[in-house]
Amino acid sequence: MIYEMHRIRAALAATVAACALGAAAPALAADQPPITVVINQSPWLDGFAGIVERYVDETGNEVTLDVNPYAGSLEKQRNAVRSAESEYDLLIINGIFYPEMYHGGFLEPLTNIDPDFKLDPQIYTYDDTLWFDPETKTVNSETGDLLTVPVNPNITMMFYRQDLYEENGLKIPETWDELLANAKVLHNPPEMIGMLQRASRSTISITWDYWPYLISHGGSLFRDEAGGDFFVTINSPEALDALKTYLTFAKEVGPDNPASMEQGDLIQYMVTGRTAHAILPVAAQAQMDDPNKSIVPGKVGYMQIPHKEGYPSAPALGHWLGGIPKNIPAERKKAALAFLDWFQQPENQIAYAEMGGSPVSAAAYESDFADRPENRYMPVMREASPTARRLWTIPEGSEIVSVLEIGLNRTVAGEIEPVDALNQMAADIEKIVADAGYKTGRLPDLAAD
């Protein structure tokens, strides 16, 4: 079906032809077979397409992008790795669903493809989510195999109204209490909401929003996931403390209908100038300064997510990982790895940033490019990337999240008390993990207030 070739592919093929004809054809020209990358449509896709084009220019290797709707990418990848031979050579895997790929044994360890392959030291490792140990079935950088290279660092950060901070002489908060105080100063509903939370229920919504609260109050989902201990600790006093903090924001500086706020609403309130704070993934920053999408261009600033006194800030990971399926011929695996290796190099990461992509290497965040005012989110990312925390590392996470989404959402909606919600969620989660055969248990029920 040549007449329908995808535009990118056609464009890339044209470039390849130009390279082959050109006098300065690169030494490596087309020494790798063509590869197909499965990826989802996103605000950072154009940047990724740009860097792929650059790879094609430089090496002469052919790359096709199969671009899918966000929800469709997982389905495509699942179908591909479960078939006799995957039609894709490189999977761009969501940071929520990677455990399924790891545990299912669908990905080829990168050092099996090339024993000399090494992760560039400047690449962020995002809470060690790049390694998996098939023996202990844990995500563990010490004992595990390297399965993926990150391709996008979509962690959360605090978006805030820098102009209002300056007007009111507010100072960047470190702790949740300081943030609450600032939000109260700016809270003037309905024109201006002090702080918006993503408290709606979805496939994964309020869980992702609650996570930084949970971790930065010293709480956790399990006692020691990396060590294979799945004792449920979601009903700890720390988790209750975190949930109460979360509810305080919803009640005191939130909107009338906090339980139905989803990410799109948060962005909408932010770009229409109606909220002072919102925790959003970094990918949303591109909309803030675009006058076609925002009435507050240049007025939104970024800061680290607050924490409780004595604990570190803990942004939630929603990153994307590049992995190579097992069920493709060896030479295609090599070709996919060649791209990943090229992609992770510091100079290419800087170029990726300049093309509007979201780099995953410290090199890019430390470059001059990161110091430009329009890239003011990048210095914050530099601080936040090493402290960002994963959610769970077992495939049962997709069942666990459904329990968390309903329990947390109902708490915000006022349908259930925080203590009861946490106790119930702990019991449900323990059952899920026990049924799946993990070593588990749970803390005794929290006492009612």
**Cα–Cα distance measured from residue 398 to residue 101, given in angstroms and rounded to the nearest whole number:** 13
Shortest distance in whole angstroms from residue 267 CB to another protein? 7
Residue from 164, 196, 406, 426 in contact with another protein (CB under 8 A): 406
SS3 148: strand
CB 343 within 8 A of CB 321: no
> For another protein, which is the closer residue by CB, 22 or 72?
72
Say which residue the tokens 């261009």 belong to.
297
Regarding 7 and contact with another protein (CB under 8 A), the answer is: yes
> For another protein, which is the closer residue by CB, 87 or 128?
87
Shortest distance in whole angstroms from residue 82 CB to another protein? 7
> For another protein, which is the closer residue by CB, 89 or 341?
89
Shortest distance in whole angstroms from residue 150 CB to another protein? 16
Count of positions on this chain that bind another protein (CB under 8 A): 81
Shortest distance in whole angstroms from residue 396 CB to another protein? 8
User: What's the full length of the chain, in residues?
Assistant: 449
Shortest distance in whole angstroms from residue 1 CB to another protein? 6
Q: In this structure, are strands 35-40 and 277-281 parallel, antiparallel, or unpaired? A: unpaired
Exposure string for 287-303, b = 16+ CB within 10 A, e = fewer: bbbeeeebebeebbbbb
> For another protein, which is the closer residue by CB, 1 or 27?
1
List the interface residues with another protein, window 376-395 (CB under 8 A): 395
CB 221 within 8 A of CB 286: no
> Which of the stretches 21-29, 159-167, 244-252, 404-412 binds another protein when contact is defined by CB under 8 A?
404-412
> For another protein, which is the closer residue by CB, 170 or 279?
279
Regarding 291 and contact with another protein (CB under 8 A), the answer is: yes
Give the tokens for residue 242: 């975190």
Give Cβ neighbours of residue 296 (< 8 Å, ≥ 6 apart): 161, 163, 270, 271, 273, 288
Residue from 15, 68, 111, 345 in contact with another protein (CB under 8 A): 68
**Cα–Cα distance measured from residue 88 to residue 323, given in angstroms and rounded to the nearest whole number:** 10
> For another protein, which is the closer residue by CB, 363 or 406?
406
> For another protein, which is the closer residue by CB, 15 or 327?
327
Phi, psi for residue 142 in degrees, rounded to 5: -75, -50
Q: Which DSSP symbol is given to 416?
A: S
Shortest distance in whole angstroms from residue 416 CB to another protein? 9
CB 59 within 8 A of CB 343: no
> For another protein, which is the closer residue by CB, 151 or 363?
151
**Cα–Cα distance measured from residue 254 to residue 275, given in angstroms and rounded to the nearest whole number:** 9
Say which residue the tokens 């009435």 belong to.
295
Neighbours of 446 (CB within 10 A): 18
**Cα–Cα distance measured from residue 424 to residue 172, given in angstroms and rounded to the nearest whole number:** 36
Give the tokens for residue 222: 């399990």
DSSP conformation letters of 54-87: HHHHHH---EEEEEE-HHHHHHHHHHHHHSSS-S
Phi, psi for residue 215 in degrees, rounded to 5: -70, -40
Residue from 183, 271, 278, 429 in contact with another protein (CB under 8 A): 271
Give the tokens for residue 192: 């201006």
> For another protein, which is the closer residue by CB, 64 or 220?
64
> For another protein, which is the closer residue by CB, 214 or 406?
406
List the interface residues with another protein, window 334-363 (CB under 8 A): none
Shortest distance in whole angstroms from residue 59 CB to another protein? 21
Q: Which DSSP symbol is given to 11?
A: H
Give the tokens for residue 164: 């209002």
List the interface residues with another protein, window 238-267 (CB under 8 A): 255-257, 259-260, 262-265, 267
Phi, psi for residue 65 in degrees, rounded to 5: -100, 125
Give the tokens for residue 163: 């102009």
Give the tokens for residue 24: 């300065």
Shortest distance in whole angstroms from residue 177 CB to another protein? 28
Binding mask 37-56 for another protein (x = CB under 8 A): ---xxxx-xx--x-------
List the interface residues with another protein, window 185-214 (CB under 8 A): 190, 200-203, 205
Binding mask 75-104 for another protein (x = CB under 8 A): xx-xx-xxxx--x------------x--xx
Binding mask 293-332 for another protein (x = CB under 8 A): xxx------------------------------xx-----
Regarding 398 and contact with another protein (CB under 8 A), the answer is: yes
Shortest distance in whole angstroms from residue 310 CB to another protein? 32
> For another protein, which is the closer residue by CB, 191 or 449?
191
